[in-house]
Amino acid sequence: MTAPQTSWIDSANDGQTHFPLQNLPYGVFSVKGQSPRVGVAIGDQILDLAALDDAGLLPAAAKGTFAAATLNRFIALGKSTWGETRKRLTALLSGEDAALRDNAALRDKALVPMSAAALHLPVDIPGYTDFYSSKEHATNVGRMFRDPDNALLPNWLEIPIGYNGRASSVVVSGTPLHRPNGQIKLPNEARPVFSACRKLDFELEMGFIVGKESALGEPVSTADAPAHMFGMVLLNDWSARDIQQWEYVPLGPFNSKGFGTSISPWVVTMDALEPFRRDNPEQSPQPLPYLQQQDKNAYDIALEVSLQPEGAPAPSTICRTNFKAMYWTMAQQLAHHTVSGCNVRVGDLMGSGTISGTTPDSYGSMLELTRNGAEPVTLADGSQRGFLQDGDSVIMTGYCQGEGYRVGFGTVAGKILPAR
């Protein structure tokens, strides 16, 4: 094992941080009195790319794209500029190029403690699509709501099932959400009631950000799909199960999902994730030709969900799982999304679907963890949860384990406020 390359910023080298030199995720931040700009996370610091750009230290191709409230302009420059910028940042932060390390005035200007910054939604998201690509999740839900013996619908093994979600309500980690109101059909009533959701849930997901648009009418193949991906985030697809159960036939979820979707503030690039590509899961039957893939499109990302009631001293971990077990890959999702001729745009967010493993402690939703509320989970403070209560915070985290370092996603957290 060779020691990992290190940074002159000490906090990037402890082996535990999510943001070592090998990661360099992009986000949008602001400090008091200044407008939002693009930054990169390194250890416990944020590197202000607008300041570095002003100092002439970043690639000319990216000039002027970092003094911006979203990553979209930078992302739209394309893969070669992403690569060139990553190379420059690696040189500057390793000290291989001393221009930043040895310039105290620039360091003062360009390095901001993460604790002193506000993090913003990193991308202007033109469209949000949510898939349903974990076989274990689809099976668990099918068992509960349909037929235990035929849990998977016949199309599930042929299609990366998805629906067009709501982009306007995608929010950055830390944004609280009100418990939604809606129509709920109680079992013994003829008509629905209008009520606050009684079965509020999270869904542990990851999302990828589209980095390259496709033309209307032109499908993206599974081979070309990775070139259309900029990076990934953690995603919590908050779900109102009782509203969902009444509304989802025949066109799928609507108000039960549209009230909010949370993402983590740091976009981890596909370049940083490259060492963590793994063999694709076995697929049987073999998918139709347009869904077949040659590349390794699975990623080894350890994931965890914890829940913290209002006033509880610490969060309790309620789920541990891994992204690599997803049945349909992101490349297959994008190929399927565009095969009809539907185009995608820079900044589009593609949710993976709930990530559930095979064991009961690896399920990515309360619905599955508690069997629709029937078997509540017990938290560290002794309280029990079938579904989420007002004041509960849900915190998701995830990382790839390298040799002596972690490429991490930080967290996506959100607190539930009472219904309006």
The CB-of-371 to Ca ion minimum distance in angstroms stands at 19
Q: Is 137 a catalytic residue?
A: yes
- Which lies closer to Ca ion via its Cβ, residue 120 or residue 143? 143
> Please, which residues have CB within 8 angstroms of residue 136's CB and are 6 or more apart in sequence?
325, 356, 357, 358, 362, 363
Q: Which stretch binds Ca ion (CB under 5 A): 49-57, 60-68, 198-206, 306-314?
A: 198-206
How many CA atoms lie less than 13 Å away from 355 in the CB half-sphere?
29
Query: Residue 67 class from Cβ within 10 Å (0-12 exposed, 13-18 middle, 19+ buried)?
Result: middle
In the region spanning residues 262 to 291, those forming contacts with Ca ion, defined by CB under 5 A, are: none
- Which lies closer to Ca ion via its Cβ, residue 111 or residue 159? 159
The CB-of-107 to Ca ion minimum distance in angstroms stands at 42
Total residues at the site for Ca ion (CB under 5 A)?
3
Look up residue 290 and give its DSSP letter.
G
- Which lies closer to Ca ion via its Cβ, residue 72 or residue 352? 352
The CB-of-231 to Ca ion minimum distance in angstroms stands at 20
The CB-of-253 to Ca ion minimum distance in angstroms stands at 8
Is 82 within 8 Å of 40 (Cβ atoms)? no
- Which lies closer to Ca ion via its Cβ, residue 100 or residue 394? 394
Beta partners for 104? none
In the region spanning residues 2 to 61, those forming contacts with Ca ion, defined by CB under 5 A, are: none
Count H helices and E strands in the chain, helices first. 10, 26
- Which lies closer to Ca ion via its Cβ, residue 231 or residue 364? 364
The CB-of-195 to Ca ion minimum distance in angstroms stands at 22
> Please, which residues have CB within 8 angstroms of residue 164's CB and are 6 or more apart in sequence?
127, 128, 129
Given 18, 137, 228, 336, the catalytic residue: 137
The CB-of-84 to Ca ion minimum distance in angstroms stands at 35
Taking residues 215 to 244 in sequence order and writing x for each that binds Ca ion by CB under 5 A, - otherwise, the string is: ----------------------x-------
What is the rounded CA–CA span in Å between residue 37 and residue 28? 5
Q: Residue 394: in which H helix or E strand, if any? A: strand 393-401
Look up residue 267 and give its DSSP letter.
B
In the region spanning residues 76 to 135, those forming contacts with Ca ion, defined by CB under 5 A, are: 130
How many CA atoms lie less than 13 Å away from 271 in the CB half-sphere?
19
| CB closest to Ca ion, residue no | 237
Residue 352 carries which side chain, given as an amino acid letter?
Answer: S
- Which lies closer to Ca ion via its Cβ, residue 17 or residue 244? 244
Residue 329 CA from chain centroid, whole number = 15
Structure tokens at 265: 């503030």
Q: Is the peptide bond before 160 cis (omega within 30 degrees of 0)?
A: no
> 3-state DSSP call for residue 193?
strand
Q: Which stretch binds Ca ion (CB under 5 A): 200-208, 268-276, 298-306, 398-406?
A: 200-208
**Residue from 48, 136, 203, 392 binding Ca ion (CB under 5 A):** 203
Residues with catalytic function: 137
Question: What is the binding site for Ca ion (CB under 5 A)?
Answer: 130, 203, 237
